[in-house]
Amino acid sequence: MISRRFFVSLASAASLVLVTPAFAQGDPLPSWNDGAAKRSIVAFVEKVTRPGSPDFVPPAERIATFDNDGTLWCEQPVPVQLYFALDRVKALAPQHPEWKTQEPFASMLRGDFKAALAGGDHAVLDLMLTTHAGMTTVEFEKIVRDWIATARHPGTGKLFTEMTYQPMVELLAYLKTNGFRNFIVSGGGIEFMRPWTEKAYGIPPEQVIGSSIKTKFEMRDGKPVLLRLAELNFNDDRAGKPVAINQHIGRWPIAAFGNSRGDKEMLEYTQGGAGARFMLLVLHDDAAREYAYGPALGLPDVALGAFPQALYEQAKKDGWTVVSMKDDWKQIFAAPK
The CA dihedral of 65, 67, 68, 73, to the nearest 10 degrees, is -100
Q: Which is nearer to a copy of itself, 132 or 194 (CB)?
A: 194
CB contact set of 111 (below 8 Å; sequence gap of 6+) = 86
DSSP string, 62-94: -EEEE--BTTTB---SS-HHHHHHHHHHHHHGG
Q: Which is nearer to a copy of itself, 32 or 180 (CB)?
A: 180
Q: Is 19 in the site for a copy of itself (CB under 8 A)?
A: no
Q: Segment 76-135, which members bind a copy of itself (CB under 8 A)?
A: none
Q: Is 54 in the site for a copy of itself (CB under 8 A)?
A: no
Q: Is the peptide bond before 224 cis (omega within 30 degrees of 0)?
A: no
Q: Segment 285-324, which members bind a copy of itself (CB under 8 A)?
A: none
Q: Segment 179-218, which members bind a copy of itself (CB under 8 A)?
A: 190-191, 194, 204-206, 208, 212, 214-218
Q: Which is nearer to a copy of itself, 90 or 251 (CB)?
A: 251
Containing H/E element for 232?
A: strand 223-234
Q: How far is the CB of 68 from a copy of itself (least distance, A)?
A: 15
Q: Is 223 in the site for a copy of itself (CB under 8 A)?
A: yes
Q: Segment 224-253, which members bind a copy of itself (CB under 8 A)?
A: 224-226, 233, 239-243, 246-251
Q: CA angle at residue 197 from 92 to 306, to 5 degrees?
A: 75
Measured CA to CA, the distance from residue 40 to residue 116 in angstroms comes to 41
CA-based nearest residue to 332, from 280, 295, 284, 293: 284
Judged by CB under 8 A, the number of residues near a copy of itself is: 37
Contact footprint for a copy of itself (CB under 8 A):
60, 137, 190-191, 194, 204-206, 208, 212, 214-219, 223-226, 233, 239-243, 246-251, 265, 268-269, 271-272
